[in-house]
Homo-oligomer: A and B are copies of this chain.
């Protein structure tokens, strides 16, 4: 089953995902991303590595740590009972963390909005004063 033997090197994967080469190597080191190697030890990736990296980015961007992601992935890749049970637990915890963080961000954003209104008012008042003084 020859599949499509078209494989890319790390530079291309980096270009196609927008993720730095350094990070790709780091992901591999954490066991989040795998590659085959050429005779000369250069990494080769299949096309689906692009999707894998995008998945990783989404999880990283949601604030999951590499370690947490490493706990999750086996359940995605090779589901088995024991693995999945812990993974589900981790996912629940992460979900709660995300909810909490969203709440914090919303609260801060509102506070920021209030501050911005205050600041804008201050500037407007100041401008009016200046105009009045000039007139």
Contacts and interface: CB of A to CB of B under 8 A. Distances in A.
Interface of A is mostly: helix
A91 interface: yes
B113 A81 contact: no
Contacts of A119: 75, 79, 84, 87-88, 91
A120 B62 CA distance: 21
Interface string A104-128: 1111110111011011101100100
A122 B61 contact: no
A101 interface: yes
Interface stretch (A3-11, A21-29, A32-40, A92-100): A92-100
B104 A102 contact: no
Nearest to A108: B62
Give the size category of A's interface with B. Answer: 35 or more
Given A63-B108, A79-B119, A92-B116, 8 more contacts: A58-B111, A62-B104, A62-B107, A72-B115, A75-B122, A81-B123, A91-B115, A98-B109
Interface of A: 55, 58-59, 61-64, 72, 75-76, 79, 81, 84-85, 87-88, 91-92, 94-95, 98-99, 101-102, 104-109, 111-113, 115-116, 118-120, 122-123, 126
